[in-house]
Amino acid sequence: MSNEAKLVRMANQIATFFHSQPGEDGPKGVATHINKFWEPRMRRQFFAIVENHRGEGLDQMVLDAVPLIRRPPPPSVGSNASGG
C-alpha cells in the first residue's frame, strides 16, 4: 500500500469515528484530530492528495474538514530530520 493510500485510509478512519458521533461537528473533529496528531510531513502529503488528486478516495467529511486543517510550511532548505 502506498503512503498516499495509507493517509487516505487513516483520514477516512477518523471520519468514520465522527460519523458515529451524533451531534458532533464531524469536520471540526476530523480537523482537530489531524492538527493534533499528524506531523507536518503527513499534513503536507495530505494536502498534496487533496490538491493533486482532487481528494480522490477521501470521505466527504474529510474534504469538508480541509479548510480547518493547518497547512504546514514547506520544509526549509538544508533542514534534516533532527531539526537542524
Over the stretch 47-82, which tens digit does the pLDDT of each residue have? Answer: 999 999 998 999 999 999 999 999 999 887 765 555
pLDDT at 1 over 90: no
What crossing angle do the helices spanning 40-52 and 26-37 adopt, rounded to 10°? 130
Over the stretch 11-27, which tens digit does the pLDDT of each residue have? Answer: 999 999 999 998 889 99
Please state the domain extents for the chain. Answer: 3-68
The pTM for the full model equals 0.85
In whole angstroms, give the CA distance from residue 4 to residue 76: 22
Q: Give residue 51's pLDDT.
A: 95
pLDDT at 39 over 60: yes
* Dihedral angle of Cα 79, 48, 72, 59, to the nearest 10 degrees: -140
